[in-house]
Structure formats: C-alpha cells, structure tokens
C-alpha cells in the first residue's frame, strides 16, 4: 500500500494548481467607475491606461500625477475632484505593468521606459510644449526625477516642468524582506509572485500605512484588484529591479534633484517605514536645499495622499500658490 503522504500529495497538487490560477477579482463599483472614466493610448504596441479630466475654467494649468509601487493611478482618487477645481487639466496614468495598463512578461521594466511612457502620453495629449506641474509618489518620484534630468540636464526631454512635488520618496530607500527576495532572487521570484495572495498583500500594504489610517477592507481589495488585473502579481519581481536602477543611477537622479531651478516641494508622512523619520527628511534637507517641505501629522505614513488627503491638498496648494 502506498504511503499516506502520496495520497495527500495526489490530492493537494491539483488543489494547489487551481489555487495558483485563481482568476482576478471583479472590479468594485468605485474601481469600475475609475476605469470607465479613463482611456488608453498605445506605447510601443502596449496599451497604457490614463485619465484626463478637464477642470477649472479660466485656468490653463495642467498637473500630471505619477503613482507609486505596487499600486496604480487610483491612489489619487481621494484628491482628484479638488485638483480638478484648481487645474484646467488633471492627468494620471497607470505605468506599464501597473493597474489597468498592459503587463507584459517577460519584460525588462525600467524607470527610463516609464519616463518615456509619460513623455509619450504628454505628446499624445498635445502637452509637449506646455509647462506642466508634476506630482509624484514613491516609484513615481524616481520616474519624475528621470523626466527632470532629461528636461534640465541633457535637454532631450519632451516634458517642460512648471513645478515638481514629491511625496515619501525620491532618495534611495530601505526595503522590506519580501521586496529584497523578489528583486534579488531569480530562482525564488517566480514562485513567490505566484504564492502572493490577498492576505500577504494586505499585510504588506498595511505595514506602510499608519495604525490609525489603515485602508478600509474595500480599499485594500481595490488595491489588490488593480495588482491582479492582467496578472500583475507575476511581474512584481521584474518591476522591483527599479531598486537596483536607483542605486546604479543615483548620481543622475539625485543630481537632477539637487541642481534644478524648478520649484520643488516634498510632502512627507513621518511614520513611513520605507523612508524613516528623521533620517530620510534630514538627508533630503541636506541634499535638496532649494526645496520646501511639509511634514504631515505624526500618524501619517507612506501613502499621505490616501491617509490624509485634506492635509496633503493643503500642503500642495500652499506650495503651488507660493510661486
């Protein structure tokens, strides 16, 4: 008679196979509304999702929003309407590999390519010769710095900055254990990305929110849905190579930040475990002396635009009205 573990294995193998191929969750009404309000354009044969809302009458100001890792343009949903009351156009995109955009695999994702995606979107929307305000967060901060470098340093950029507002990023940061494994292990990464489930994701995202500003169950689920759309969980390890790119090209990107004459602002949630206080903000102040800074309440963490949208907007509008 066969060993009992053989029978267990014969039962478990198909169950695990089914589990690893669970279809992505359905869009919630909120996420469906966001998706329906957007459009796509094509970048090198890939579909890129974006939103472009017309807003304030009598204003010609444009703002482009660049989201963080591993989420999407939906990160801006809590401040979207107030921004449309201030700006003529409010634009956000899902980077390649994120949200509702295509998520090719295998693919060598890079900050350079994402910056080119933003430039292509600006050209698509007729903004190549217009000064734009850029607001960014986390991963988007590094994309913004590449765009700034192209604009300021080598004059090859197709985006002209009116201002740049960073949030909880822009300088090399620490990594969580899972992020380190995904970025460094070509052997483990395919296994870990397939084993990533909602509970692990919720724990990981919850760790970068403050204890009093945690997402609701619905908000956690929307983030997870955006990640799982088009099997986005399977490209996490490829996208995370941006950490190595940040280190390799630190002089290029931090140099652009320290030398620019574009108006700069940093909005910072000080409870951030990714960019810990006070080390991160002290380093930023030392390196980027021309930038103004807003440090939000002590309970705000890595996602300030979601954790404290009112404080975030007040900080941003104070900045934008200062020049």
* DSSP states along 52-112: EEE--TT---EEEEE--SS--GGGGTTTHHHHHHH-SEEEEEPPTTSTTS---SS----HH
91/195 Cα distance (integer angstroms):
34
Span 158-181, average pLDDT: 78
pLDDT digits (tens, 9 = 90+) for 301-312: 999 999 999 999
Is 247 or 182 the better-scoring residue by pLDDT?
Answer: 247
- Flag whether 13 is in a domain: no
Q: What is the pLDDT of residue 212?
A: 98
- Flag whether 12 is in a domain: no
Burial readout 17-50 (b: 16 or more C-beta within 10 A, e: otherwise): eeeeeeeeeebeeebeebbeebeebebeebebbb
Span 153-178, average pLDDT: 80
Q: What is the pLDDT of residue 9?
A: 52
113/221 Cα distance (integer angstroms):
29
Q: What is the pLDDT of residue 157?
A: 75
- Flag whether 101 is in a domain: yes
Q: What is the pLDDT of residue 18?
A: 47
Q: Specify the DSSP element, H or E, that contains 281.
A: helix 279-287
- Flag whether 9 is in a domain: no
pLDDT digits (tens, 9 = 90+) for 258-308: 999 999 999 999 999 999 999 999 999 999 999 999 999 999 999 999 999
Q: Specify the DSSP element, H or E, that contains 44.
A: none
Q: What is the pLDDT of residue 181?
A: 45
Span 61-71, average pLDDT: 97
- Flag whether 217 is in a domain: yes
Q: What is the pLDDT of residue 193?
A: 60
26/229 Cα distance (integer angstroms):
9
129/40 Cα distance (integer angstroms):
22
- Flag whether 304 is in a domain: yes
Range 199-202 contact pairs with CB under 8 angstroms and sequence separation of 24 or more: 201/227
What CATH number did the domain enclosing 131 receive? Answer: 3.40.50.1820
- Flag whether 290 is in a domain: yes
92/237 Cα distance (integer angstroms):
24
Residue 309 is part of which domain span?
Answer: 27-321
- Flag whether 6 is in a domain: no
**pTM, full prediction:** 0.91
- Do residues 226 and 67 lie in contact, with contact meaning Cβ atoms separated by under 8 Å? no
Give residue 94's Cα distance to chain centre: 8
What is the number of domains present in the chain? 1
In three-state secondary structure terms, 51 is: strand
pLDDT digits (tens, 9 = 90+) for 191-227: 566 667 899 899 999 999 999 999 999 999 999 999 9
């Amino acid at each position: 008679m066969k060993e009992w573990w053989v029978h267990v294995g014969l039962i478990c193998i198909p169950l695990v196979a089914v589990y690893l191929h669970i279809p992505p969750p359905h869009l919630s009404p909120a996420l469906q509304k966001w998706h329906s309000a957007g459009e796509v354009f094509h970048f090198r044969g890939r579909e890129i999702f974006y939103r472009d809302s017309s807003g304030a009458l009598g204003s010609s100001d444009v703002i482009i929003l660049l989201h963080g890792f591993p989420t999407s343009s939906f990160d801006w949903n809590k401040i979207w309407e107030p921004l449309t009351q201030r700006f003529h156009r409010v634009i956000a995109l899902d980077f390649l590999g994120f949200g509702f955009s295509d998520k090719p695999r295998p693919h060598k994702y890079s900050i350079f390519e994402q910056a080119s995606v933003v430039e292509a979107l600006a050209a698509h929307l007729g903004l190549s010769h217009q000064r734009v305000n850029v607001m960014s967060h986390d991963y988007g901060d590094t994309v913004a710095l590449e765009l700034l470098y192209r604009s300021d340093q080598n004059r090859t950029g197709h985006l002209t900055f009116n201002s740049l507002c960073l949030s909880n990023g822009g300088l090399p940061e620490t990594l969580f254990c899972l992020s380190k494994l995904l970025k460094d292990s070509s052997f483990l990464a395919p296994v870990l990305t397939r084993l990533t489930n909602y509970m692990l994701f919720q724990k990981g995202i919850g760790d970068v929110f403050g204890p009093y500003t945690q997402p609701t169950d619905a908000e956690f689920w929307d983030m997870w849905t955006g990640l799982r759309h088009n099997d986005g969980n399977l490209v996490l390890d490829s996208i995370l190579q941006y950490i190595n790119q940040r280190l390799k090209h630190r002089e290029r990107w931090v140099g652009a930040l320290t030398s620019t004459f574009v108006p700069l602002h940093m909005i910072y949630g000080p409870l951030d475990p990714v960019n810990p206080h006070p080390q991160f903000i002290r380093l930023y102040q030392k390196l980027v002396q021309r930038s103004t800074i807003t440090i939000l309440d002590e309970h705000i963490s890595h996602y300030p635009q979601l954790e404290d949208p009112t404080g975030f907007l007040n900080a941003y509008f104070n900045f934008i009205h200062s020049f």
